[in-house]
Amino acid sequence: MKRITFNEMFAISFCLFFGGISSVAFLLLSSSSSYAATTQTASASVTVGSACTLSAVENTAHSATIPSGTNQSDIGQTTFTMVCNDSGGFSLYAIGYGSNELGNTKLVAVINGATAPGYDINTGTNASGTPSSWAMKLTPGTNLTASNILNGYGSYSAIPSSYTKVATLIPTTSIIATSSLSATYRVNIAATQPAGNYNGKVRFVMVNPENATPLQPQTTQAGQICYYPNGSGTLGSMGCQTIPSSGNINGVSPTSAILLASNFSREGYGFAGWSTTYDYSDPEGFYGPQEYIEFESGAYSGNNSGLSLYAHWVKSAGSLQEWSGCSALQEGAVTALTDQRDNETYAVAKLADGKCWMIENLRLENTATTGATNIALAQGYETGFTGLADPEGLALFANVTTANSLYSIDGSTTNTISGDYLANRFPRYNNVNTPANPTNVSDRPSNPTTNSATNSTSNAGMYSYGNYYTWAAAVANTTEASIGDYNTKSICPKGWSLPRGGNKSREATNDFWNLIVTHLNNGTNPANYESSTQPSYFGSAEAGPVANALRAYPNNFVYSGYIYSGSLSNRGSNFRYRSSTAFGGNLDYDLYFDGTLFLYPGTAGGNKNMAESVRCITTPAT
């Protein structure tokens, strides 16, 4: 299955390795035409993805025989060629990589066939040969000048021990910039340096765009699963999770774990889950935010290292409201798109049902509908709907009932939200991953702490859990609907809609049912299918595997819980997702899993005054 490629390239000199990756460039063509009398119009649009590559050619030897007692300057040169069509340009970073250890800047000594650490040659620019040292410099080539070389690397400089930006180029949007430079290495040998073989490397990483920084591997303590932000500009923090060594924790055996939902956010990127490799190089190493995973016996314990999981970021490819690329995606492919209303970016995937879903929970904050722009950017608003009532938006929730609130206060459709509600607001996402009201932070700590006993961290997952919406808020309509009716308007972006639910007679139009039963569960109906009009999977043997499939990459459903009667319930063990379909009275059909026994595939009756999670899909509810 094709996964998103990672956005960095590298070449290593001294025992040279070189490689490259590029963003997948894809072409989306769409056209429409209309005819009236003798007038015809046609339109076409095209999206060209960024493509940046780095290559290296070995021009001279990267090793030399250095007899004891002599000095030798030039020991090799590497020429890099870079091609990048992104207007944000690229930056080239360097770091020492001695003995395959990132950050090691030494030439490692091998004397008489054995390593001899006491005689390693350290990085430095000492020209006298006392002590021995080695250094590098960069020389600009095509489309680069001396001003593109940074941090003094236009002359011999010490090999950096951490990722250091050594060159940069910002191309124009009208050309694909091809550029090159050369790296030359020099060693100074003291008369007392013993004869032997000395090996070192420098890793060069090309990153794009300009404000990115290279990704790098992390080390995790044995018996732990640790989560890393994995990119510049990433906000939020997370603790580590202890892998059970014996017994049973939350129904999870010692050789398995349920991963933690993400508390990281990154502007302009969608969160697609966790990766077992920092550079996303393992196509099978992707997991959903709260996926159930199993280990081989003894893995990540004893003398083995722990499991490092890296945030899998996907750069935004454009606007949710203007996107028409679902048909061009292969099943399982992931991209990211930005909601123009609040500039939040969401990972989007083409799932097994052939439809494109947001694979992150909606995080939309308060949005007024009085302006034509906001109305045009949403799927649509019912006449008279005044926007979301946000308990933290003091100017906008006065005299607004909980029917269209961002949260549920007490299950009432008539109770108005007051300023006192601020004192009891619920922890949920905000775009800086810190408490929105700094004077009242006790209910939402910004730094989660490890809680190995519950196999989770406090407030970890704030980002993945998103916001919570009453049914009226989700469908942008406070009017009650008859059973089976669905609302074509919603707070989803224009061109997107809420998934539809329904009972057994409405399976054909139940989007949750189609994804879960038909595709994820291979068409196997729940055991109570014949006896119930609202079929559900029951028990760990039946409901468990279905819930696991929903949480697995790239479906990425999470245990976000729900809010009702002033309480945040079951976050971390339960989920409820809104549909656009009315159950009748004060209920709607929703996707519900109680964490242990029941999973309703869009067939449950959820109270409309509950505040639940929202996922949007591209298929219109028609």
State the SS3 of 362-414: CCCCCCCCCCHHHHHHEEECCCCCCCCECCCCCCCCCCCEHHHECCCCCCCCC
> What pLDDT, on a 0 to 100 scale, did the predictor assign at position 32?
33
Note whether residue 110 is domain-resident: yes
Residue 622 predicted with pLDDT over 80: no
Q: Highest mean pLDDT range out of 64-78, 87-101, 154-168?
A: 154-168
Chain mean position to CA 37: 50
Residues 235 and 149 in one domain: no
> What pLDDT, on a 0 to 100 scale, did the predictor assign at position 359?
98
Residues 420 and 547 in one domain: yes
Note whether residue 338 is domain-resident: no
Dihedral angle, C-alpha 326, 466, 244, 597, nearest 10 °: -80
First CA to last CA distance, the chain: 31
**Whole-number Å distance between alpha carbons of 575 and 599:** 9
* pTM confidence score: 0.74
Note whether residue 614 is domain-resident: no
* Residue with the larger pLDDT of the pair 492 and 3: 492
Radius of gyration of the chain (CA): 28
> What pLDDT, on a 0 to 100 scale, did the predictor assign at position 64?
61
Residue 620 predicted with pLDDT over 70: no
Note whether residue 329 is domain-resident: no
Looking at 151, 182, 207, which one is the last position of a domain? Answer: 207
Q: Which domain holds residue 555?
A: 372-431+461-607
The mean pLDDT of the chain is 77
Maximal C-alpha separation, the chain:
93
Distance set, CA 380 to CA 51, 372, 478, 497, 502 (Å): 36, 11, 13, 10, 22
> What pLDDT, on a 0 to 100 scale, did the predictor assign at position 457?
39
Mean pLDDT of 117-146: 88
> What pLDDT, on a 0 to 100 scale, did the predictor assign at position 539?
92
Instruction: Count CB atoms within 10 A of the CB of residue 527.
Output: 15
Note whether residue 350 is domain-resident: no
Q: pLDDT band at 585, cuts 50/70/90?
A: confident
Q: Give the least confident one: 334-338, 366-370, 425-429.
A: 425-429
Residues 512 and 384 in one domain: yes
Note whether residue 363 is domain-resident: no
Q: In the chain, how many domains are there?
A: 3
Residues 124 and 236 in one domain: no
Q: pLDDT band at 139, cuts 50/70/90?
A: very high
Residues 56 and 148 in one domain: yes
Q: What angle do CA 290, 291, 293 make, to 5 degrees?
A: 135
Residues 426 and 552 in one domain: yes
CATH assignment of the domain containing 130: 2.60.40
Looking at 315, 335, 361, which one is the last position of a domain? Answer: 315
Structure tokens that stand for 122 in this block: 């350290």
Note whether residue 268 is domain-resident: yes
Residue 395 predicted with pLDDT over 50: no
With a pLDDT cut of 70, the percent of the chain lying above it is 69
Looking at 207, 237, 259, which one is the last position of a domain? Answer: 207
**Whole-number Å distance between alpha carbons of 229 and 178:** 31
**Whole-number Å distance between alpha carbons of 76 and 58:** 9
Residues 387 and 470 in one domain: yes
